[in-house]
Amino acid sequence: MQRKTQGRTDLEVSTVCLGTMTFGEQNTEQDAHAQLDYALERGINFIDTAELYPVPPNAATQGSTERFIGSWLKARGGRDKLVLATKIAGPNGSQAWIRGSKHNHDAANLRAAVDASLQRLQTDYIDLYQLHWPSRNVPIFGANQFDPRKERNGVAIEETLRALADLVREGKIRHIGVSNESPWGVCEFVKQAEIHGLPRIATIQNLYNLTARAFETTLLDEVCYREDVSLLAYSPLAFGQLSAKYVDDPRARGRLTIYPPTWSPRYLRPAVFDATREYAALAREHGLTPAQMALAWCYSRWFMGSTIVGATTLAQLEENIDAAQIVLSDEVVKRIDEIHGRITNPGQ
């Protein structure tokens, strides 16, 4: 398993990162421990979670994912061999169970969130602490047009960085990152850090898969290259859509069928199904499974810091990790770009 250094830090993480947002909803604590054990056996040293998880979020299960990781860490040890990442939820008035309806990226909320995550994770420090989504108005989670009418009073980026700097000085977190961010946001975080001598973001955790390649077309790739910010790609299989299981069997069990359509409408768009059929046919034509091709594509991108994979079974996790050894031919890459040119970013 190859490793890459993130941003301007000393964090060396595996090409594949174990995503954990199913722990506590689709996966039991025993399942979670089995996945974590297997991931380490295969050379993964990078684990990503969030205070919000599992998903879909609700008050009854919130924090279970971190607790499952914490019980595993307590039982297995080896904390110093792992890079552990978690995230603070951004403002969302409907998730009042997370520190009340006014939770945000201010100093009080950041400290409370970090302390609670440390307790659930049963560790003294977090290697990479990320802002799950911005404090300000930004189109995310399937929205792709900026709307000034949705402006809100967000916490200033400088204020957030100063609060994070305190937590870094105290040793509670080592490095910081953002998630679901825009090119402007990345530039502003870097600028404020440099002006005021505050911690610099090392990573951006954003959506990236064959049906959602806006990272390339919004110039985020150039911004991150020039500012030394590494991409951590989430949803590389588009909630399982790119495995082709839903086009092969519309009743297949998974997130797109066991939860209401309102949970992930972007992956239910007709154009996503059209693109998936074409990508699946291409993969099978070249002796690959659709999931293998979709993941091998992500793993091979020049701007990729690490790709976050999630699974509900060990068989799925094995296939996901095995794909890191696959090198796509020039012909396959050319054909992928041709499909993308005709059906562009339907899952964005």
Please give the structure tokens belonging to residue 44.
Answer: 């993964």
Minimum mean pLDDT among 59-73, 90-104, 108-122: which range? 90-104
Q: What would the pLDDT profile of 145-161 be if each residue is shown by its tens digit?
A: 999 999 998 999 999 99
Nearest-angstrom CA–CA distance, 25 and 18? 16
Residues comprising the chain, all counted = 348
User: How does 240-272 read in b/e, with b if 16+ C-beta sit within 10 Å?
Assistant: bbbbbbbbeeeeeeebbeeeeeeebebbbbeeb
Contact 83, 47 (CB under 8 A): yes
**C-beta neighbour count of 74 within 10 angstroms:** 12
Strands (E), 20-95: 46-48, 83-88
Q: What would the pLDDT profile of 234-255 be if each residue is shown by its tens digit?
A: 999 999 999 999 999 999 999 9
**Average pLDDT for residues 17-35, to the nearest whole number?**
98
CATH of 3-240+303-326, one of 3.40.50.720, 3.90.180.10, 2.60.40.10, 3.20.20.100: 3.20.20.100
User: Is 299 part of the annotated catalytic residue set?
Assistant: no
The ranges assigned to domains in the chain are: 3-240+303-326
> Euclidean distance between the first and final Cα of the chain, in Å?
29
- Give the three-state DSSP class for 45: coil
Q: What would the pLDDT profile of 311-345 be if each residue is shown by its tens digit?
A: 999 999 999 999 999 999 999 999 999 999 999 99
Provide the pLDDT for residue 144: 85
Which residues have a Cβ under 8 Å from the Cβ of 29 and sit 6 or more positions away?
Answer: 23, 68, 71
Of the residues 38, 53, 208, 279, only one is catalytic, namely 53
Confidence of residue 48 (pLDDT cuts 50, 70, 90): very high
Strands 3-5 and 12-14, bridge-based pairing: antiparallel
Q: Is the pLDDT of residue 217 over 90?
A: no
* Mean pLDDT estimate for the chain: 97
Provide the pLDDT for residue 20: 98
- Give the three-state DSSP class for 27: strand
Query: Taking the mean position of all CA atoms in its chain, how far away is CA 272?
Result: 20
Q: What 8-state DSSP symbol labels residue 307?
A: E
Which residues have a Cβ under 8 Å from the Cβ of 171 and sit 6 or more positions away?
Answer: 124, 125
Nearest-angstrom CA–CA distance, 91 and 94? 9
